[in-house]
Amino acid sequence: MNGKVWGGRFREKTDGLVHHFNASIHFDRRLYAEDIDGSIAHVEMLAKQGILSDEETSRIVETLEQIRRDLEHDRIPIDEDYEDIHGLVEKVLIERIGAAGEKLHTGRSRNDQVALDTRLYVRKIVWRFFDLIRDLQHGFVAQAERHADLIMPGYTHMQRAQPVLLAHHLLAYYEMLKRDRERYGECLRRVNRMPLGSAALAGSTFDLDRAMVAESLGFEDICMNSMDAVSDRDFILDFLYASSVLMMHLSRFAEELILWSSQEFGFLTISDAFCTGSSIMPQKKNPDVPELIRGKTGRVYGHLMALLTTMKGLPLSYNKDMQEDKEALFDTVDTLEMCLRVLGQLLSGLSFHGTRMKEATEQGYLVATDLADYLVRRGIPFREAHGIVGKMVLYAMDRHKELKDLRLEEMKDFSNQIEEEVYEWLDCSSTVRRRNLPGGTGPERVMESLQKAKEELAA
């Protein structure tokens, strides 16, 4: 006999290289807890349906719990003698209790078993990510509250554009992370369907109570088509997509940390604990942590594209190609969890340089839009006002002046509608205060946003 759980039909032993190529135990071993949870729910249902005796069920459940504890404490060697984690658990069970253990797999296939295990795993990770994202949101809120009065340049096209509050800028990431949690919530809704009972692809001849298993494992419903249930990996793609968008948001902030900590910007200092040095240049302090977060984003994107490509040509139902979903999923989980944890700690130790930020808002004509708005209030159509201010900016540039440095007489040469009160419109602090509409950078609105964010996090 071949020695595999499926070996009865085979005369020859599996080639060693094929066994190594085919095996997934070296990565799907992390599903052991989900596999045992699913098996316990399955055999308890078999007992309720009269397919297994109460005594057999009791022995199986008790032994599965022992196997769980042994795996948790590395008392069972995990090597490629086992093809996958499902085979390991079943073989160890049979070794310990004999014929009763051979009944564990009644009414199920590895196809619906692995679909169940993976759904349980993704569901667990989504809940973990909810907490990690919330922790990072707390970090942004704390920094925003700590620096609620700091003014900095807002940018478009990486050019200084208009003054904003640093808190407003930081809370933009709070909103991004809020959407990330919503995306994982949508993923959770779709992952929370129970596939067991679909067997290999067509369902089982046994009278299985799928609803009982679903309720036991905390699923909202069962998968309604057995072929779809064993061949669906949309829920992993949902998870990888949500993770890719989250990594994109982390990468955008990482990029700003890299820029803002440079001597050219000088807006912040990253704690030494989150930087490294150079092997040749003694003066260097390198922002390796945000650079790695930025770099690992492509890694997560790659996993999404790899699984999309794997799935695009597969006929129904299960195909071995789908084993490729696990490494993409597990590596994404590990990568994102580390990025979320390390960025959260880095964020709490940032030191922002308010004086340097404020100085940057006073160079580059950041109040030009406010000057145009002032002219509109004096009765000039906006497009005409835009042109007037553009000429004033050019005039000031030629004289190496900012708009606030121009004399009133100089300004009047461009429009006789300009009066002394124009200088109130050319102060960066004033221009921030004027943007007091909902969603704007006005201090009152930012404080409202901060309060709302804290209430959302508390809830």
Domain ranges of the chain: 18-106, 111-152+164-353, 360-442
- Does 302 have pLDDT greater than 60? yes
Mean pLDDT within 189-203? 97
Give the model's pLDDT for residue 5. Answer: 67
pLDDT digits (tens, 9 = 90+) for 353-382: 999 999 999 999 999 999 999 999 999 999
Q: What is the pTM of this model?
A: 0.94
Q: Where are the beta strands (DSSP E) in 128-177?
A: 151-156, 159-165
Establish whether 157 is a catalytic residue: yes
pLDDT over 70 percentage in the chain: 98
pLDDT digits (tens, 9 = 90+) for 41-92: 999 999 999 999 999 999 999 999 999 999 999 999 987 778 899 999 999 9
Q: Among 157, 279, 351, 400, which one carries the catalytic annotation?
A: 157
- Does 2 have pLDDT greater than 60? no
Nearest to 93 by CA among 56, 47, 50: 56
pLDDT digits (tens, 9 = 90+) for 382-422: 999 999 999 999 999 999 999 999 999 999 999 999 999 99
Give the model's pLDDT for residue 150. Answer: 98
Lowest mean pLDDT among 5-14, 133-142, 234-243: 5-14
Average pLDDT along the chain: 95
Mean pLDDT within 309-327? 96
Do 443 and 165 contact (CB within 8 A), yes or no?
A: yes
Domain 360-442 indexed as CATH 1.10.40.30: yes
Start-to-end CA distance of the chain, whole Å, equals 59
- Does 1 have pLDDT greater than 60? no
- Does 424 have pLDDT greater than 80? yes
Q: What span, in angstroms and rounded, lies between the C-alpha atoms of 320 and 110?
A: 11
H helices of 192-233, where?
Answer: 210-216, 226-231
Q: Among 53, 271, 278, 429, which one carries the catalytic annotation?
A: 278
- Does 104 have pLDDT greater than 70? yes
- Does 7 have pLDDT greater than 70? no
Mean pLDDT within 161-184? 98
Q: What span, in angstroms and rounded, lies between the C-alpha atoms of 22 and 80?
A: 10
Read off the pLDDT band of 24 (50, 70, 90): confident
Q: What span, in angstroms and rounded, lies between the C-alpha atoms of 175 and 143?
A: 15
Q: Which CATH number fits domain 18-106: 1.20.1600.10, 1.10.10.10, 1.10.275.10, 1.20.1070.10?
A: 1.10.275.10
Domain 111-152+164-353 indexed as CATH 1.20.200.10: yes
Give the model's pLDDT for residue 3. Answer: 55
- Does 195 have pLDDT greater than 70? yes
Give the model's pLDDT for residue 341. Answer: 98
Give me the count of residues in the chain.
459
Helix, strand and coil content of the chain, in percent to the nearest 5, comes to 65, 5, 30
Establish whether 386 is a catalytic residue: no
Give the model's pLDDT for residue 6. Answer: 60
Give the model's pLDDT for residue 304. Answer: 98
- Does 19 have pLDDT greater than 80? no
